[in-house]
Chain A
């Protein structure tokens, strides 16, 4: 099948999901009113607040976060030639957790303020801490990547750094007040709804710059599929390429995690889903493919998390796994059967 129509179809699917995300929610707002609000009608303050300050930001954040995590997962899986690699595997999201843990758990004992109580400034501090934490771990990984040769060695070191960081978080928890731990746990559940207003615009803006950058690495990623020796023989500088891919991938994860918490599963599963849908390893297709599929899946999960009855209380992480796992497992399973039959 031709690949471009599928990409266009995915774009259309995102549009539909975006509309449904705006229309559905615990408060019933007529479609006509929603449209009017989007075009600048502010006559119903409650409705316009719900649409513009809750549903629209949430949908935009979901699109960007889903796209970022998915393409980051694709890059990790290719560079490590490991189907189980994902944004969390190198300890980069653990690094974010550490940053947040330090800020959330230590603030009351060190500075005497409990961040879980101070709202907006606290949120900003959490984002910054998460970015610093994940970038710190990523810098460490990049440094290691330049020292060691094998990808498997690097992967194992990454996983070990992840464990180490988790252990430090565990120790921090042990010494913290109960309400701070609760705030930390809530952050860890993941949510697209936490960001709004200016911070939402900042997040969306940063992602809009970073996502296109991943297109610059498609040729590199295609060559990496062949393995280091073949890739090097075709003129690729392995060490520099590996660093660039980890940097791109790591920064995407760092920023998404900073604003939405550690969102599981999308980064791991979407690349597999895309390979099954497009039946190719060509990153010129897979990069736009994962970006669109990731965005669509995140929108779907965000929608389900807000279904009547859950009232936004359902953590995104539970939904991503509950919705995604069976779908993706079945798609991959069916494709495998086709392969055998050929």
Chain B
């Protein structure tokens, strides 16, 4: 995919908490029009990296450039127009319709009282249509299935009109068909809208089939590349293989040896 421009660049990034460094020496970039998946064992720091890029927590060192400008130099409201997030856990909201929630995605653009202009309303309707949830738009959030609710949150991120969308394990609680459906939807957004999409996941085989780029996070750092590159380099094997589990580099599949 040539012609895609760099949306985010991580340079010598160090992440973690005040008392503990989780990963360091992270050098990687995310490109527009690409679906990048972050994989790695539990505790490797996937969420920490995700939260650091979304500015939910401070980096310990290095730089994060978003469209060429350092993350910490963005004012709150401007950053809200660059990164849209979708989280694992569903928000506990009662009595809010799908349409109202997607409309909250317009908050970085609306005025003091959050009143929607005709333009905002059109963008909200488009986002809902694009995700294919028009039939749900008057339903209350609490009456949706997990898969439907995750689509609503993605529609919110679309309405937010950010070049970058970060999703922290968006498919964790979904049933298998919904996982695939959600991933396909995200892939489509990359291709058709030129979005930069970055998500963390544990669904390895699905990821290898659909991702444009893989970030493998283990042992305190990141290896990045296309699924094929990551497989060939042996990095995936070292992540997956243990007694009784083999990673087939050619077919990119996990096999269980009896």
A interface residues (Cβ-Cβ under 8 A, vs B): 81, 215-216, 218-219, 222-223, 225-227, 229-230, 232-237, 275, 279-282, 284, 339, 342
Contact = CB atoms under 8 A, between A and B. Distances in A.
Q: Is the interface of B mostly helix, strand, loop or mixed?
A: loop
A65 to B, nearest CB: 26
Interface residues of B, number: 32
Nearest to A237: B76
Contact of A225 (B93, B113, B140): B93
B112 A230 contact: no
Nearest to A225: B93
A235 B94 contact: no
B26 interface: no
A225 B96 contact: yes
Interface in B140-197: 140, 142-143, 160
Nearest to B84: A233
Contacts of A282: 96, 100
Contacts of B25: none
B91 A219 contact: no
A215 B79 CA distance: 26
Given A229-B87, A233-B83, A279 B95 contact: yes
B7 interface: no
Contacts of A234: 80, 104-105, 107-108, 160
A284 B93 contact: no
A219 B113 contact: yes
B96 A230 contact: no
A233 B114 contact: no
A226 B160 CA distance: 14
A286 to B, nearest CB: 10
Contacts of B104: 222-223, 226, 234
Contacts of B38: none
A281 B96 contact: yes
A216 B112 contact: yes
A216 B113 CA distance: 7
A281 B93 CA distance: 8
A275 B95 contact: yes
Contacts of A215: 113
Contacts of B113: 215, 218-219, 284
Contacts of A235: 76-77, 79-81, 107-108
A284 B198 CA distance: 34
A280 B93 CA distance: 10
A284 B95 CA distance: 14
A275 B107 contact: no
5 closest Cβ pairs, A-B complex: A235-B80, A219-B114, A235-B77, A234-B107, A233-B85
A227 B55 CA distance: 15
Contact of A219 (B54, B96, B107): B107
A81 B56 CA distance: 19
22 contacts: A216-B112, A219-B107, A219-B112, A219-B114, A222-B104, A223-B104, A227-B87, A227-B91, A229-B85, A230-B91, A232-B55, A232-B76, A233-B83, A233-B84, A235-B77, A236-B76, A279-B95, A280-B96, A280-B100, A281-B94, A281-B96, A282-B100
